[in-house]
Amino acid sequence: MALKTSWIISLKALRRNKLQTALTMIGMTIGVATVLTMIALGSGAQSAIQDQVKAAGMNMIVVKAGNYSAQQEAVPDDAIEPAAYSGWPQRGGWGSGVFVPGKATLLRSYFHPEDDPFAVHDHPTARQRLGDSEAGLGAAATLTIADADAIRRIGGVQYVSEGVHENAHVVYGDTRWFTRMHGDDVSMPRIKRAWTFVHGEYFSKRQEANAEQVVVLGSIVAEKLFGTENPVGKTVKLWNQSFKVMGVVSTTNWMVAPAPGDDEFDAIYIPVTTVQKLLNLSKLNDITVTTQSTGEVTRVSKQITELLRVRHGITAKRPDDFQVISQAHKALTGGGMRTDVQRAVVGNVAGLEKVTLDQLGKTLDRASATMTALLGSIATVSLIVGGIGIMNIMLLSVTERTKEIGIRRAVGAKAQDVLLQFLLESITLSVVGGLLGVLIGYIASASISKVLQWSTQVSLVSVAVSFGISAAVGVFFGYYPARQASQVLPIASLKYE
Amino acid sequence: MTPNVPVISIKKLTKTYQMGDVAVHALRSVSLDIQAGEFVTVVGPSGSGKSTLMHILGCLDQPTSGQYFLDGKDVSRLSDDEVSTVRNKKIGFVFQGFNLLTRTSALENVELPLLYGPDPVSATERRARAMAALEAVGLGSRYEHHPNQLSGGQQQRVAIARALLNNPSILLADEPTGNLDSRTSVEVMDIFQSLKKERGITIVLITHEPDVAAYGSRIISFRDGVITSDELNTRRRTARGELAELPEPLEESA
């Protein structure tokens, strides 16, 4: 007999017992809805943790030009070394960067081409770029946009933003405000996950490519210059040049409110290309990199180091002319630790501290994955309970419907027709119940995130899994009763009242 | 089928049930031939083996030994699937308890055999054929009624319509009037008699009431698993004539 006919028979049989059908289905619906909601909550929590970690900058790496942690300024390859000099300490110890208090000497006496008063450079030399606190401590203008592009090609890298930082006066009408100027890439709002735009938006890729004179104001700057006015579309002056205001940026982070003097919101953002053009710079102060996952920070940091060493032609025994700083690095160096200890730690166990914080990220990932699995398995129990409910009802139904089976057998139904009918009934119950469950689970997850503000995430996989389980439950728990039904003897059933 | 080959031919049919330690001999080597177009009534007290015979004739049960030829084909040793097809195609059942599916319309009840046929039948054809069968038993206007909305007589007529849907070789009726009042019983017997007369259907009817048995053209008596008498009925009752004499029905006007 055609499957379609069997299915029609099953549907008719189910329709004859509406209440029973509905009650059985509810079991399945609740099961599937629970599984879906639990998984949604679990993976919501997981991605929320990931988001927090990312928002905290755990996946952020900053590559800074210069390397003060190496303590003594490296002798540039092109430096002219006085032949008579013999007191060069720690030859060969560069890579370790061990800090020896008291022996810090800045080897300024070396002649460096950049120091040549007659040389004409296309960028301010390290010495000229005062205002960079690192200047003189190994700051070297070595990072370029080409370096940033090379970093972009490393696997696992999410966003890369070139950075040039200066202090600048912003002028609007008669109002002046001295603030921090950041020359950045368009990807900055995606790197700074806590950012939100009060007005307007960030400058576009095209504006960056064309080095247009556009500016995004930090909320503090906007307030100082414009008060409550919407500055978008207005023109401010910077270095006596006109800049069109594109947007105003603030933060969604309620823990740290924007305040005058901070680096993010008492600041203005200009395309890095514009800054380079106007200030005649070809080098960068830093490159901000984010990784796709928190767990990759160490690997990516390492790769960046290797890449830049090759690009900058640094030989094995020379120290880096840049610093790769991850959030871990900052956490360790920013915690009120004695400066000398900090330097010693960062210098000596750079790998270790990165690994530990990296592992914290991984642990958080694992913990939330475990939670999802736990919630999912608890919910699966409810699915199984729903399945047993179906089996129960179907078994009861076989006894109750012995006569119906007998009638069907008498008019010519084969044992397998009866088997198929009962099997299709339970599959229909569980699949329709499951579909309803998916719907209810989806609504439940959506309302939970709306009302309780918990983050939930209904993934296609979780829908497929819970739906698949419900169909499997229908087959699995439906088979035994169906088999029982098919084995009912035709005469026995006709005598049954 | 040639007239010489009997529709039903059973040879030395034995059926023994094992009830605990006791073997119950329901049928003891019964042989019987029924020709096409006969209206055979089987009478006997309960426990005489007539119901067992009916189950075996209807392919609902298989004999312990002996052979059963239906339309010249041995059906006593067929597989469950083959027997199901035989039931579907060649046998129509009418039961004492009507055996209709509850909460299912008369039309859908009548359609039932077509759902299990070896050849697929389209939904529209199923409906058309079932409708025609219902009209033949005078219930065309009540096709949407559920069994609980129909009287006993009407339910039995739905059952007859269902039994005849696949144009079976034999119609087996097990105490078809057992649950009906006397007037309705006569109506049902009228249907059977006209089926025999107009369509030449072979009918085997089982009853314990000699009154009902008297409508048949041949009466077979059973006792303790053996045939005690098998004779042509010379004093046949005709339901049509009796119906005319009975007072107007109250039930049918409802």
**A412 CB within 8 Å of a chain B CB:** yes
**C-alpha triplet A338, A343, A344: angle, nearest 5°:** 100
Per-residue model confidence as pLDDT tens digits over A146-183 = 888 888 888 888 888 888 888 888 888 888 888 888 88
**Does one domain contain both A332 and A367?**
no
Chain B residues whose beta carbon lies within 8 Å of the beta carbon of residue A421: none
Asked, for residue B69, whether it belongs to a domain, the answer is: no
Asked, for residue B23, whether it belongs to a domain, the answer is: no
**A415 CB within 8 Å of a chain B CB:** yes
A76 DSSP 8-state letter: P
Are B137 and B161 within 8 A, CB to CB?
Answer: yes
**Does one domain contain both A43 and A63?**
no
**Does one domain contain both A405 and A311?**
no
What stretches of A381-480 adopt beta strand conformation (E)? none
Q: Is A489 helix (H, G, I), strand (E, B) or coil?
A: coil
**Does one domain contain both A343 and A416?**
no
Mean of the per-residue pLDDT values of chain A: 75
Confidence band for A331, pLDDT divided at 50, 70 and 90: low
Mean pLDDT (whole number) for A289-297: 76
Shortest Cα–Cα distance, A25 to chain B (Å): 20
Domain count, chain B: 1
**Cα-atom radius of gyration of chain A, to the nearest Å?**
34
Chain A residues whose beta carbon lies within 8 Å of the beta carbon of residue B116: 1, 408, 411-414, 417
Q: How many CA within 13 A on the CB side of residue A166?
A: 19
Structural domain range at position B212 = 37-59+81-253
**A289 CB within 8 Å of a chain B CB:** no
Asked, for residue B21, whether it belongs to a domain, the answer is: no
Residue located via tokens 């030989």: A315
Interface of A with B in 372-391 (CB under 8 A): none
**C-alpha triplet B67, B70, B71: angle, nearest 5°:** 135
Residues A272, A166: Cα–Cα separation, whole Å: 11
Are A335 and A68 within 8 A, CB to CB?
Answer: no
**Does one domain contain both A181 and A281?**
yes
**Does one domain contain both A115 and A260?**
yes
Shortest Cα–Cα distance, B217 to chain A (Å): 26
Residue of chain A nearest B168, judged by CA positions? A411
Of A298, A324, A354, the last residue of a domain is: A354
Asked, for residue B122, whether it belongs to a domain, the answer is: yes
Asked, for residue B92, whether it belongs to a domain, the answer is: yes
Question: Which residue of A11, A20, A411 to mutate against B (max B Cβ within 10 Å)?
Answer: A411
pLDDT at A93: 41
Mean of the per-residue pLDDT values of chain B: 89
Give the total residue count for chain A.
Answer: 497
User: Two tokens at A76?
Assistant: 């540039």
Q: With CB atoms and an 8 Å threshold, state whether A5 touches B58.
A: no
pLDDT at A462: 81
**Does one domain contain both A304 and A410?**
no
Q: What is the pTM of this model?
A: 0.64
**Does one domain contain both A349 and A374?**
no
Of A354, A381, A405, the last residue of a domain is: A354
CA quadruple B98, B102, B106, B109: dihedral sign: negative
Mean pLDDT (whole number) for A187-192: 80
Give the rounded percent of residues in chain A with a pLDDT score beyond 70.
71
Asked, for residue B219, whether it belongs to a domain, the answer is: yes
Of A336, A354, A372, the last residue of a domain is: A354
Domain count, chain A: 2
Lowest mean pLDDT of A221-235, B148-162, B172-186, name the range: A221-235
State yes or no: pLDDT of B200 exceeds 60. yes
Chain B residues whose beta carbon lies within 8 Å of the beta carbon of residue A9: 115
pLDDT at B160: 93
| Residue B218, domain CATH | 3.40.50.300
Per-residue model confidence as pLDDT tens digits over A4-54 = 888 888 888 888 888 888 988 888 888 888 888 888 888 787 777 666 655
Q: Which of B80, B95, B112 sits opposite A415 (nearest CB)?
A: B80
**Does one domain contain both A130 and A243?**
yes
State yes or no: pLDDT of A303 exceeds 50. yes
Residue of chain B nearest A418, judged by CA positions? B116
Residue of chain B nearest A495, judged by CA positions? B97
**Does one domain contain both A299 and A427?**
no
Q: With CB atoms and an 8 Å threshold, state whether A408 touches B116.
A: yes
Asked, for residue B236, whether it belongs to a domain, the answer is: yes
Asked, for residue B51, whether it belongs to a domain, the answer is: yes
Are B138 and B170 within 8 A, CB to CB?
Answer: no
Structural domain range at position A146 = 59-86+94-354
Higher pLDDT, B178 or A382: B178
**Does one domain contain both A82 and A35?**
no
Lowest mean pLDDT of A3-7, A95-99, A452-456, B186-190, name the range: A95-99
Residue of chain B nearest A16, judged by CA positions? B103
Q: With CB atoms and an 8 Å threshold, state whether B84 touches A409.
A: yes
Mean pLDDT (whole number) for B214-243: 90
**Does one domain contain both A248 and A288?**
yes
